[in-house]
Each structure stands twice: as structure tokens, then as C-alpha cells.
Amino acid sequence: MADSPSLTRRDFLSTSAKLGAVIAAAPYVSRGAAVGAGAKSDTVNVALIGCGEEGRILANAALNIPGVRFQAVCDIWPYNLTRSSRLLQKFNHEAKPFEDYKEMLSTVPGIDAVIVATPDFMHAEHTNASLKAGKHVYCEKLMSNTIEGARSMVTASREAKKLLQIGHQRRSNPRYLHARDKVVREAKLLGRITNISGQWHRAVTDDFGFPNGQAIPDAKLAKYGYANMHEFRNWRWFKKYAGGPVSDLGAHQIDVYNWMLGVNPRMCIASGGVDYYKTHEWYDNAIIAYEFETKEGIIRATYEVLTTTSAGGGYHEYFMGDEGALKLSENPKFTKLYREARAPEWEPFVTKGIISKPDSGEGAPAPVKPWEKPGVKKLGGPSKAAGVDVRETAQLSAWDMPVTLDKAIHQPHLENFFDGMRKGTALNCPGEEAFASAITVLKVNEAIAAQRMLKFAPGDFVA
């Protein structure tokens, strides 16, 4: 924005000040809090801190968004710093490379926004420094590996009057938005939701190594808080730097539970352990139960993250009600809707564009007539239709949603962030909401360690 011929620095500052006023006035930047109506769209100058796998994925997605210009990149590992600079150069972004984020923030003029994709234990430091330097921040999930870290980020964003978006990207995925806003809330196709189950099953993986000659010297690793190269590369498995699979994978999906229901859980109980890997500290497998209290009644939810088997259908969140069920996944092939035989007809919702015709693929389960009793159907083998298992859904007819995501999966969430800066569009995952999710996630590891049920108080979720 700073280099923009059509939007002066003063215009931008005035928009930011208005934006800040909204942040300060509202408990959080909620839907409908758009400010700066009529503000001009323009170039946004961006810096990236953390140029690893996710940093490059975000950079690639942001490169598709018109007007986004990378001005600087920062990483303590020269290997990744060079790779990301080269990637950006290929797209004619002359991003200046830095090892030290403080130097980057103080010397590169006109940065409007910072994307933070460092290991979780550095999120608060990098985010807070960027906010204090007057930048809007898009920070990856999990917001922080500590409650204090996450709370400090919300405070810093309020004090700086700058936007803070956390990278729970499913919240901006059009399929997820359609499912929540149209299928569940408007058409109420699930009836009363009584249960949720979710999972991420991943096969055994080897620890990350590093290319020959690319080790960071011990003194430099120590300066940045890492014990050695193995922990630096495999930080997500160690307690000092992150929260293990529960926060690495589970954070996305547990966030979807809260987001879909619009409430946070009232209790959590969990079982987990270091059952398999010999070189990690965090629980490799965890099985969790939450209870949510809603106006319609209690919802019992389970979630399991397994890192020792990919069997059992990948990753999804499954919302189940007395009239229908919704299986959502970032992977479209696992996404499906199921109608209970007792539910009112769903055909009218096809006409309204809320759902689409049942899968007519080979082996898809036939719609069951309302008068057919559950449990009497003779079953064949499993369906060949993507994501549908006849054994699992014998009594249910399968339906689809007429919505697809035709972009990189992180792009809509980044677009929402940049729209927040440019047009005052409400953020889909402001710091305050991500804080509530961080509390929901971090409690799981606490419950596993305590080996007992832990309760949440409503005040726990407020930063």
C-alpha cells in the first residue's frame, strides 16, 4: 500500500485508524464489523517470517491474489531463506532476505502486513513485534503453544489497533461456509445435532532430516532456542516448541467444532501417550471426548488423532443429527451429506441450491423409503463412490453440496485477511475466536497428563 499511487499513506493510516477504532470498540472483530466502505483496493506490501513448508504454501497462495507484493522474507535457516527468496523472484517479487525479524521490521519501509509461519512457540514473539511495529498480522495456527502467548497476541492486536487473523483456513473455505450457513443453520438439514466425531489418521512418518551441509551451527541454534538440529527440524513433536499432533493436526478440526456450533465445550476428557515413536516427546495418538451445551441440548463430541495408521478414512469432521449427518473435510472426496429416513424430503433443498442430487455413482447407497425399517437392508460390498461406505451408511441416502473450492486451500483465508485490510471486511478468524480454539485444544494435552476429566469455565475462553 505504501507505494501505491492511488492510495496515499494518509488514506491508509486513516482506514487503519477507523479499523482500530472498531477493534477497540468490539469484543472482537465480528462478522458485519466492516469498516472503510469505499476504501480503495490497492497493493499490499507483505513480509513473511518463517519460510518452511507452510510459509512457502502461504506465499504460493498469496501470489495468486492481485496486488499482494512480497517485500521481505525472514528465516534463521539460510537453506529455507534462499528457497523462498528464489520462489518469489521467479514471480518478480524482490523480497529482501533477513535472518533477524527485528532488523527486517525496522529497516524495510512500507510493510503493511506480516505473515508468520514459524514454529508455534515463536508465534507470540513474532506476531506481537509485528503488531507493535504497526503491521497487520496473519499468523499460522496453533495461535500459540501457551495460553499466555495466545492472550498476549490478542492484547497486542487490540493495543496496536491492527488486524490479527489466525490460520484456521477452513473457516474461509466456501464448502465449510456453505455447510455451516446454508445446510446446518438455514435449512437445518441435520435436525438436532446430537453428536460429532472427527479424526485425522496419518501413517507412520520418518523424522525430518536436512540436506548435507545445511546444518545450523550449535551456537546459532542455541541463540534461537533450539537444542539441536533434530529438534529444530522436528519441533512439532517437542514440548518446548509445540503441542504435538493434538495441536498440529487437531487444532484445525477442533476449531471447526466450535465454529460450526458457535459455542465452546464445557468439559474435556482424553487418553493419549507416546506409544510408538522413540524420538519424540509428544503423544503420538490421542482420543478425546468433549461435551457441548447448546440451546437445543447436549452434544457429545469425539476426536481422534492417530499418527501410526492411515486406516479408517483419512481426516474429516462429522456432524450428526436426528435428521441428517454432514461429513466435512478439507479433502472434497470425504465430504458428504446423509439423510435419515425419518427426515422430511430433501428434494426442495436441491431446487434452492443448498444441496445437490444424491451421488449416482456405481455402488452408491440407494435412497431408503421412509417406511423401510432401519436394519433390514441386505448389504453388498463397500461402495466404490468416493467417500461413501455402504456398510456405514446403509440406512441413509447420500447427497452432495453444490460448492467447490477452485483455489489453493489457504487462498480464501488470505483473501479474507487482505480484504479486512483493504475494505474493512470482517475477519473469519480474528485473534479472539482463535484464542477460544487454542484453549479448547491446549486443554486436551492437560487432560491427558492429568488422566481425568477437566471442566471449562466460560471465562476461560475470553482473552
Would you tell me which residues interact with ligand NAD (CB under 6 A)? 49-55, 74-77, 80, 101, 117-120, 122, 140-141, 167, 169, 224, 248
Amino acid at residue number 368:
V
- Quick one: 156 or 429, whose CB is closer to ligand NAD? 429
| CB 54, min distance to ligand NAD, A | 3
CA atoms of 145 and 150, how far apart (whole Å): 8
- Quick one: 42 or 231, whose CB is closer to ligand NAD? 231
Q: Which of 202, 188, 174 is nearest to 337 (CA)?
A: 188
CA atoms of 37 and 243, how far apart (whole Å): 40
391 φ, ψ to 5°?
-65, -35
| CB 27, min distance to ligand NAD, A | 25
- Quick one: 45 or 253, whose CB is closer to ligand NAD? 253
- Quick one: 53 or 181, whose CB is closer to ligand NAD? 53
CA atoms of 203 and 313, how far apart (whole Å): 11
| CB 247, min distance to ligand NAD, A | 8
- Quick one: 76 or 337, whose CB is closer to ligand NAD? 76
Three-class secondary structure of residue 24 per DSSP: helix
CA separation (Å) from 226 to 50, 140, 222, 238? 15, 20, 5, 10
CA atoms of 456 and 197, how far apart (whole Å): 20
Fill in the DSSP letter of residue 10: H
Who's near 227: CB < 8 A, 6+ residues apart?
Answer: 221, 240
- Quick one: 14 or 89, whose CB is closer to ligand NAD? 89
CA atoms of 353 and 182, how far apart (whole Å): 9
CA atoms of 23 and 6, how far apart (whole Å): 26
- Quick one: 390 or 414, whose CB is closer to ligand NAD? 414
- Quick one: 54 or 460, whose CB is closer to ligand NAD? 54
* Alpha helices per DSSP H over 93-207: 101-107, 123-132, 147-160, 174-178
| CB 44, min distance to ligand NAD, A | 20
| CB 458, min distance to ligand NAD, A | 27
Three-class secondary structure of residue 37 per DSSP: coil
Alpha carbon of residue 35 to chain centroid: 25
| Site of grid cell 494518509 | 10
| Site of grid cell 483456513 | 169
- Quick one: 241 or 318, whose CB is closer to ligand NAD? 241
| CB 457, min distance to ligand NAD, A | 27
- Quick one: 103 or 347, whose CB is closer to ligand NAD? 103
| CB 101, min distance to ligand NAD, A | 6
- Quick one: 244 or 272, whose CB is closer to ligand NAD? 244
CA atoms of 26 and 359, how far apart (whole Å): 44
Phi-psi region of 213 (alpha: psi -120 to 50; beta: other; left: phi over 0): left
- Quick one: 223 or 384, whose CB is closer to ligand NAD? 223
| CB 164, min distance to ligand NAD, A | 15
> Are 373 and 342 in contact, with CB atoms under 8 Å apart?
no
| CB 302, min distance to ligand NAD, A | 22
| CB 370, min distance to ligand NAD, A | 41
| Site of grid cell 513433536 | 237
> Are 105 and 72 in contact, with CB atoms under 8 Å apart?
no
**HSE value, Cβ hemisphere, 13 Å, CA-based, for 431:** 31
| CB 83, min distance to ligand NAD, A | 9
| CB 156, min distance to ligand NAD, A | 17
Three-class secondary structure of residue 95 per DSSP: coil
Q: Which of 166, 183, 165 is nearest to 174 (CA)?
A: 183
